[in-house]
Every structure is written in C-alpha cells, then in structure tokens.
Chain A
C-alpha cells in the first residue's frame, strides 16, 4: 500500500512540468560491472565524449543533450526493465548500447513495444537485422555475416587449403560460424574444413583442444575466440610451437590494442585479426582529432577500440534528429534509413532496408615493432561491407 503511494509520487515527479527548452535525452545501457565492463566502460567513455562534444557545439536542434546512463549487467531481463524505466520514467527520446546478443535482442524487443528507436552499438547477432528486424531498431556495429565474410576473404587470400574451425559454443560463435560457411565457397572454393571444435563460452582450459588442432594437419585456423579466450589459448598453445605451424585468422577483435597490450611479448606470430578502431592508424582525417580528445579523456595515449562504437551511436543519433528536425521516434527512424555520416572510421551508411550500417573493421597481421613493447597491426586494411 505504502509503496504504491510512494510510486505514484515518484511517477508524478517523473512526469514533471514540460519546459519548452527541455534537453534531448539519450538513454544508454552498457555493462559497467562484471565481466562485460572491460568493453562497456570504454564504450560508455566514447558515448560521453560524443555527448560532451555535441553539447559544446550547442547540442542537437539547439537543445542540450542529457545522457541517462545505466548498467545493463549483461542480463537481458534487467536490461529490458531498465530500458522501460528510461522510457517511462526518464522519458528518453532514444536508447543506445548493449553488448551481448541476448541483451541486444531484449532491448530491441522493448524498442518494438514502446515504439522508441534503439541503436545497437555493439551487439552483432544477425537476427536483429534479419528475422527480428522492426521499424525502430538500427545497428551501427558490424554483424556476424560481415565479420564471417571478411574472415572467408582472408582465408582465400592466404590460400588456406585445410582449415581448422574454432568457435565458442554460444550465440556469437554459432552465428559467426554460419557467416563464415556462407562466404567460404565464394572466396576459397578449394578450402576444406577438416576439423570444427567448439569450446565453451568462458573456457579457460584449452588443453583438450590444442593437440587435436595440431594433429589435424591444417594450415590455417579460423577462430572466433575473443578476448580472454584467445589470451588463454595463446598461453597454453604457444609454448608447444602451435603458432609456428598455422595461420590464425580470427574475428572477435583480438587485433585491438587491448589484447595486444595485455599479451605484450607473448602475442604470437602468424595472427591476422580485426578491430573496429586503432589508435595508431586512421582511414579518415577526423580520426586524429577524435583520438586526441579520447586520449585526453581517458588519460592514456593507447585508447581502446570500443570507445569508437559508443561515439558513433551518439553521432548517428544527432545526425538523424538534425535531419528529421524532430525527436519523435517515427521521424528519427525514417531519418536513419539510408543516412550517411562521417565518423572517425570513415563514412558510414545505414541501409534503408536492413537497418544495418556498413561499418568495416581493420584487418591485418599483428607484427612486432622495434620501439614498442606490444605488437601492432601492420599493414591495417579497412575491409568495409558493400
């Protein structure tokens, strides 16, 4: 009884008085605690950087931007509740963020119900822009088909004949596998997959898998082991000379500086991987300034790649609202379709039909540098989907 009265009071306060010059509210959810925080915290920093920059220039449509930031806890139901709260209590105009596939899909579901635009800035699950596509969901991250396509292309270029395929046994791994298998006949028609192994998500012991791959006689590995999985694999496999014998072509952004900086001298040879952004390499003149500001905000020269994704989400929000001259969900959704903007990683366009941005990734071999303690991607090639 008491709490319902309290709630009613909160609700009335939340509704508030409407001012003519109310700020534009952007709701954002990233994992800020637990295992996902390594990605969510830098993404949030990029998000904040974009909001600060826009506000310094007068905001969107002459209105200040207020960013309402929450932890998604990597839990889809919690993310769903929190997103509803942002919409009904904080009255946000748009919602950005997410990291895991399930959180992305749960946020997309809320966006569909509540008719509020959601821009997925990190989740890659292909379902979001295919079977479960709806009017209000957009994606500025890559998807597993695009990533798989690039990996197949690199397998072809490196003339892999016998391939070992390693994927983590969960949504992202299975989707990426499907993406690779779809594209492989196109780029490497003669390549054969001789072995497919699927370690568990969160696995730390790869000793049962390493000898299998080594004895399968493959000349290359296509891998979806990201972050800590790759680090564990390297620590267990490198002492056996694993990386002398195979080319390791990997998705999951292990070409990012975060991983290179973590492994330092232990980072193995023969790895070709991807990253959304590199602090030391640019394909667009605006990157330099973006990176400098980010470095200042994070107080480190070697900035993480995830910040760019948070940043791009806000840039798209601003561009869409300016184009629509409105913050209404229907207008913003219509404006986002086919919208092209300049970003620190070059010009991006959101496809009008699939709601998917043609964001590319930098791909290349990770090589030693004489004056650095960590490896760097060189040459870095920006592979952008058509």
Chain B
C-alpha cells in the first residue's frame, strides 16, 4: 500500500533537508527554518479546516501563546528548554481547549467569528500585559540554551521538532479519531446519528490544532529571539489560512506545500517590490477562481487529465 511509499518519500525529504547545511549557505538555512515552522503552523490549522470542516480565523492566538509562553518561561523564569517548550505546547493546548469549549457550540460563520474574537482577546492581553509580555515593544532577548545558539544547530532542532510534530499529526489524522473527524466534516447530522458525539470530536480537534500551533509559535519565537503582538494579530491568522487554502485542504501535505510556496513567494517578492499585498490578492483570486482544491488539487487534476505515467 502507499503507506510505505509515503514513509520512504518523507525519509528522503528529511534526509535532503538534513544535508542542507552542507551547502554552506546561511541564507538557505534561515529560510528553510522559517518554512519548516510555517509548515507545521499551517498543518496544525488544517486539522480544523481540512479534517473537521471548521474554518478558524483566529489560529494565530495559539501560535502566539506558544511563542510567548516558551519565551517567558525561558527568559523570565529561567526554565530549561526541555521544560519550557513542552509547557508552552501544553499551555497553548489548554487555552485552545477552553476557547474551543465555547467555539464548538457554533458552526460555520458563527464559529469563525468567535475564533476571531477570542484571538483578538489574546492579542489584547499581549498588548496590555506589559510587565509580562513587553506590550507592543515586543518580548525580545529570549534566552536560548548555548547548544542552540548557532543557526545550523537551531535548524536541526527545528527540523527534529517539526518532523516529530508532522509525524504526530499524521498519526492523529489517520487514526480512527481522524477518520471520525472526516465523517463529521462530511455529514455531521449523519455522524451524530451513528453515535458520534460530534461536538466533542470538534472540541478535541480544536485542542489538537491549538497545541501544535503553539509548538510552531514556540519555535518561531526562539528563531527570532523575540515575540511581538503582531504575531497574534488577525492578519497572521489570515496568512496561515491562505497557506492552507493555497496548498489544498483535502490533502495531508497540502498545507506544507502551501506554507512553503507562500512564504518563499513573499520573501522573494519583497526583494523586488514592497507591493506584496497586491501579489497576495492575485494569489487569493486564483485560489478562489481556479484552484478551489489548492495546488495539490491542481496536481491531481493534471495527472487525471494526462493519465498516470
């Protein structure tokens, strides 16, 4: 079955990524670190969007909680990384569980608006709680363990963490739980009739998405040695949503591709023109008009058209 094929393919990708520092290019290492973090972030959101069919406009909140949580524990409380990183992930998951408890009572647009409202609440807390978060000056000067201060070391650390995160999400999404989520997405009424507690399933998915979003946020904060309230703002939630849509929501690896393409495109565009929002607008237009199933959907459609080689 394709299972083993996927395993081999992912092993090759990870191996190639692990060889990247041999190129000697600091720039490539930094850029890939960023892409890896965004890939995990987008993938975590897709647990909600692709698998459960709930669109969240506030996913940046958990990213920010993970980022701020890890940064504050490392710096203000001098915790070791081995404790602060898991604690930050748990914290993001817990907040997601609390927020999710309320959000899953609603569906569709009402659900989306409530996630947005809670996310702006998180933004507001980060803004106002100046003594702890640094307010709108941001939280800079994150203390890092000596071992991870070099960009190459941090790249390997990110690669390892993202690999673990992606693997865990793969297992979760392909378990009975993941398939149940798909059932809820496809027909929540019928899923309810066969005895699935749909609300609880969506709640669990919300929590999982939040926790892994928190992991991505923690990695992001440490990479920049700083967290800023802009990271919790709704524009950040929109950005990751576009990554997911661009890659394709109905495929596991879609969001990873979407994150890589969008982030690289943004980085390269910025080298030539400051008008990235225009480019982004055009991308959105194309997604909505021609690529409703994202880049992955496009690939499979092209394949179907030309016959499998």
Contact = CB atoms under 8 A, between A and B. Distances in A.
A275 interface: no
Choose among A8, A15, A75 the residue with the greatest number of B CB atoms under 10 Å from its CB. A8
B140 interface: yes
A113 B32 contact: no
A170 B228 contact: no
A101 B137 contact: yes
Interface in B276-292: 276-277
Contact of B136 (A11, A12, A15, A170): A170
B303 interface: no
A265 to B, nearest CB: 34
B31 interface: yes
Interface string B43-72: 000000000000000000000000000000
B16 A77 contact: no
Interface stretch (A104-112, A297-305, A309-317, A335-343): A104-112
Contacts of B141: 109, 132
B270 A77 contact: no
Contacts of A201: 136
A207 to B, nearest CB: 23
A70 B30 contact: no
Interface in A68-87: 70-71, 73, 75-77, 80-82, 84-85
Contacts of A174: 130, 135
A contacts with B: majority SS: helix
Interface in A125-176: 125, 127, 132, 170-171, 174
B226 A106 contact: yes
Interface residues on B, range: 35 or more
B171 to A, nearest CB: 23
B230 A102 contact: yes
Interface stretch (B21-29, B88-96, B188-196, B207-215): B21-29
B230 A4 contact: no
A217 interface: no
Contact of A109 (B23, B32, B225): B225
A15 B25 contact: yes
B60 to A, nearest CB: 11
A19 interface: no
B105 interface: no
B226 A4 contact: no
B77 interface: no
Contacts of B228: 75-77, 102, 106
B199 to A, nearest CB: 35
Contacts of B231: 77
Contacts of A288: none
B38 to A, nearest CB: 11
A337 B126 CA distance: 36
B28 A7 contact: yes
A116 to B, nearest CB: 12
A75 B130 CA distance: 18
Nearest to A13: B25
Given A1-B12, A101-B136, A201-B136, 18 more contacts: A3-B264, A4-B16, A4-B32, A7-B31, A10-B28, A11-B23, A11-B27, A12-B25, A15-B24, A71-B274, A77-B224, A81-B34, A85-B30, A88-B27, A102-B228, A106-B226, A170-B135, A174-B130
Interface of B: 12-13, 16-17, 20, 23-28, 30-32, 34-35, 127, 130, 135-138, 140-141, 220, 224-226, 228-231, 260, 264, 267, 270-271, 274-277
